[in-house]
Structure 1
């Protein structure tokens, strides 16, 4: 295996030096995984650890950070100075930031998510971010993860408008688009092509959900979106700024910053180089940890939760993406050493994009990397490295959703093994919130009953003799046949009464059942119709009761009230 000589690890590992390259496994306790699950009941939340523990958790993280040595101290100081300055400048472009006391920032509480129209359980995390930051006397900053690939430019909303060939008003999903782009590129590359769709998106959503929700929050949200799209022209940016602008109206005091801005700093470049200059060792930590995670969870797919990093012809795949304005499709970043230079490339056949970084002087190398990264060469972290940087460098306490909380336990293993430090703890926050006014009916019980009755029409048609006139002779003969195998008190079968051979008995029973069942055709049709209607009603109720509807279709007052209750603010 090729060994990279890290300029950031040139001295033996001590408590005050940059991480070096010992080959121990991470703490075995990190191999036990917490199972986070979405709450089931409407209006319930998952907050682990509880809100009352937030201050102690943050204090514990601060104490751990202080013990990790000058490399981390220096990196955090510079990264956070840039973070605060950039977040204030970015946020002030579209909402008030005069409440920020730059002379007394306090601890940083951070959350993050893609700039999409997510469900209310995800949005709850932003309200918790504001609440926790106030509890600990700090500042809340939301990281807009704009390097993830956009899934599309539309949302599915619940509707009861007539649809289909019959024009029925059965609840269903309708797709409402704010652009014609089909996704497939990072959010920060999703320029809006159809302003006519974007400009009237709120009206289209309100019309689609009419009869389900009469006052969706999209109306207030989209006023901010229309202002934002004129500023940036990028859908992801506009959606994030619209949501954050609405949060400002609702009294939340938080800052925001896109990950793309964070990635322009020299502190981020130095963190990336700490990995790239020891990439073969990082490979071992990353791949071994992913293998252990899959083994512990019984996962057979090599791509879940993340694929292992590859090695080809002296090139090592890095946990980074490369893309740019001229070529917005994400490509894997590959790295190799050439003399004293680190070569970073996407290795595309038609002409690779490459950077050469002189790594003999670490500080200069970080500055060189941050200066060479450009709109056409964006070097962005993959998910586990994103949260690793956010948790270990940018913040004192990070708030995850359920998915992030599950997968970042893998990130903890990688971090512990590679950097030889104890990962900082995080909180997991989510909620289940359903549309208002839903009345639940136990359709499952009715469906089970109807299915059992349809089965009895075939195998026990005599049960319906009180509902349909059945052939009395057939009923009597079946009763006689059943009596032949009746179990007496002694428990012995009256085998002597059983006709021989036994098959003859079964065949006669089957013939009688078939004849009686034919006489129940009308009832069968009725029950099938009732079953189909019950299944449609059940599907409609499940659709309406989903926790996955976009937050913008909910009434804003309803969400605010629910969030306040969950945070103990009411």
Structure 2
């Protein structure tokens, strides 16, 4: 394989063994794009296609993948063998895996997410993973996406503890940290700096949500987290193992593996090299698809949903990240060709890091790349390439959340145009689950009513004569003026007493202003009621959010809700 220096155009692939069919362009219009949206009602789910179709979808995917050609057949066989072996070894370090028959695992159903304390709608996907794997007689594997950047080391939880200068018990958010780190580095680099914060996180959360939830699941979760942090010392690792350990305690039978482990295999290296050795052409497919996506959806930002890949002085930006233990901040990977060697670098002048790969023998080049990647030179895929590998190589059926389901339709376009194979369809799964015991008072209607009343104080003050003693002469005069408008046009035109339109308007405005002054105390009362109604509405909106971390919910409540959602589909 040789990197072409031709213009960045996604032209038909002619030389690579990864090609299986002529180039085809998928329709990526607004009509074909699926608009996945979170369910609105509490205790409802989004499962597309329905669970009852999962087995048929998986069988269809297996048949499609069989037609992709020998490159994909070989890659899938080796990658899946490594996946199961590594996932069993990794998972067995913290929970039982004796139920796995490594010699006969059947089809692979896969999901994935960052190792964070996400909301119950995301966690529902893990329960669906177990359910679908059992339905199809296969095995569920959850991919821990530990190359994404951690946003911080804390969570926001709902609280009614006294706060502010007045000691208000109005519902509000409290930030509860589990470490001192501020984020900004990949999850696999998030070493814990404060064991004291980490060790007492469950107690801090329980105290913060007291009065909202009596028995949050963080208590059971954190027993697993404390064991995990002693094993790995990394917050991302500990959070993922804690959640998965709790899932095992609840009876879910799935395996788990960090993406960082997947990236050490020669199969992954071979997949990456299939892109890097034709990187200029991949640029064309990637950038053209992203441009069409933005055009179809009226997106003006060049960074959404992903920025285009760049080229500079013979260097081509790759859909990969480079970082390591000695410099954990992610940097873009850049590639150029020198004779028969690929040079892979982060192009940071003060911190040069490069790999040189001989591409004359693809299999040996893949082994070389896998061996050269080290703890201080980690080569990790960006989001679209991550799911491309997970869906096309590692699994027979992939379960996305709402965000992944939206953006991976762009990944389908890139995959189809670069590799010339039909992407394997996926499922999209999410749920909306609110805190238990919430009351649903219609504060919104009350707020709208109070706002209308405050407006009427200025423009229709006479309406409040039953609540405040008003100047009846002014009220009577305004009634006369309003009646004039209601008279027939010819009568008004012939009347010598008829004021001009401007005079009429000025007199009505003057009367309104005079009457409105007499409503001062009522205005103060309504403003106070409006402020209280808006606070109550905001508090209800806060408490009813679907975004609260799953660890603040009672575990039995979540189990029961998940079971109902999976049985109804």
TM range (shorter): over 0.9
Q: Which residue of 1 aligns with 2:37?
A: 37
- CA positional deviation for 1:506: 1.3
Give the drift of 1:494: 2.4
Q: 2:254 aligns to what?
A: 254
Question: Secondary structure at the residue paired with 1:183?
Answer: coil
Rounded to whole Å, the distance in 1 between the matches of 2:349 and 2:104 is 51
Task: State the Cα distance separating 1:477 from its structure 2 match.
Answer: 1.2
- Native 8 Å contact 1:4 1:278 kept in 2: no
1:305 aligned to 2:305?
Answer: yes
CA contact (8 A) 1:4 1:277 kept: no
Q: State how 1:100-111 maps to structure 2 within 5 Å.
A: 100-111=100-111
Cα deviation per residue 1:105-164 (whole Å; 9 max; x = unaligned)?
000000000000000000000000000000000000000000000000000000000100
Q: Please report how far the alpha carbon of residue 401 of structure 1 lies from its aligned counterpart in structure 2 after TM superposition.
A: 0.1
Q: Once the 2 structures are TM-superposed, how far is the Cα of residue 496 of structure 1 from its aligned partner?
A: 3.6
Would the alpha carbon gap of residues 447 and 19 (structure 1) be closer, same or farther in structure 2, given more than 3 Å must change? same
Answering whether residue 561 of structure 2 is matched by residue 562 of structure 1, we say yes
Query: Aligned residue for 1:179?
Result: 179
Deviations 1:403-430 (A, max 9, x none): 0000000000000000000000100000
SS of match in other structure, 2:112: strand
Instruction: State the 1:485 CA deviation.
Output: 1.4
Q: Note if contact 1:21-1:281 (Cα within 8 Å) is conserved in structure 2.
A: no
Q: Give the C-alpha shift of residue 504 in structure 1.
A: 1.8
Q: Is the 8 A contact 2:492 2:498 kept in 1?
A: no
Change (3 A) 1:468 1:276: same
What corresponds to 1:244 in structure 2? 244
Deviations 1:201-243 (A, max 9, x none): 0000000000000000000000000000000000000000000
Q: Is 2:13–2:418's contact at 8 Å kept on the other side of the alignment?
A: no
Aligned counterpart, 2:357: 357
CA contact under 8 A between 2:28 and 2:296: conserved in structure 1? Answer: no
Could you tell me how far apart the structure 1 residues matched to 2:490 and 2:532 are?
46
Aligned-pair distance for 1:21? 10
Contact kept, 8 Å, 1:30 with 1:409, in 2: the verdict is no
1:156-305 alignment runs, 5 A limit: 156-305=156-305
Q: Secondary structure at the match of 2:151?
A: coil
**Could you say which residue in structure 2 is the equivalent of 1:494?**
492
Partner of 2:82, secondary structure, is helix
Aligned 1:134-145 pairs, distance under 5 A: 134-145=134-145
* Alpha-carbon offset, residue 294 of structure 1: 0.5
Say if 1:12 and 1:380 are closer, same or farther in 2 by CA, change over 3 A.
closer
**Alpha-carbon distance in structure 2 between the residues aligned to 1:406 and 1:501:** 60
Where in structure 1 do 4 or more consecutive aligned residues deviate above 6 Å? none
**Deviation by residue 1:469-508 (Cα, 9 ceiling, x = unmatched):** 10011111111111221144xx767234463433222111
* Structure 1 gaps, min length 5: 6-10
Do the aligned residues in 1 keep the contact of 2:416 with 2:422 (CA within 8 Å)? Answer: yes
Deviates more, 1:491-500 or 1:285-294: 491-500
Could you say if the C-alpha distance between residues 257 and 493 of structure 1 is closer, same or farther in structure 2, counting changes exceeding 3 Å? farther
- Corresponding position of 1:519: 518
The answer as to whether partners of 2:162 and 2:168 remain within 8 angstroms in 1 is yes
Distance 1:517 1:500 in 2: 23
3-state secondary structure, aligned to 1:301: coil
Relative to structure 2, which stretch is displaced further, 259-268 or 443-452? 443-452
Q: Bigger shift: 208-217 or 439-448?
A: 439-448
What TM-score comes out, normalization by structure 1 length? 0.96
Tell me, yes or no, if the aligned pair for 1:485 and 1:493 is still in contact at 8 Å: no
In structure 2, stretches of 5+ residues that fail to align are 7-11
Say if 1:269 and 1:135 are closer, same or farther in 2 by CA, change over 3 A.
same
2:549 corresponds in structure 1 to 550
Range 437-446 or range 107-116, more displaced: 437-446
In the aligned structure 2, how far is the partner of 1:20 from the partner of 1:127? 35
Matches within 5 A, 1:454-473: 454-473=454-473
Q: Aligned partners of 2:487, 2:265: CA distance in 1, in Å? A: 84
Please say which of residues 473-482 and 71-80 is displaced more in the overlay.
473-482
TM-align CA RMSD: 1.7
Q: State whether residues 486 and 493 of structure 1, in contact with CA within 8 Å, keep that contact through their aligned partners in structure 2.
A: no
1:8 maps to none
Q: Is the 8 A contact 1:187 1:236 kept in 2?
A: yes
**Are the equivalent residues in 2 in contact too, given 1:75–1:267 (CA < 8 A)?**
yes
Q: Contact 1:461/1:513 (CA < 8 Å) preserved in 2?
A: yes
Give runs of aligned pairs for residues 379-528 of structure 1, distance below 5 A.
Answer: 379-488=379-488, 494-497=492-495, 499-528=498-527
In 1, the alpha carbon distance for the partners of 2:178 and 2:56 equals: 43
User: Does residue 1:119 correspond to 2:119, yes or no?
Assistant: yes
What SS does the aligned partner of 2:275 have? helix
Match of 1:85 in 2: 85
Equivalent positions of 1:309-388 (< 5 A) are 309-388=309-388
For 1:481 and 1:549, how far apart are their aligned partners in 2? 56
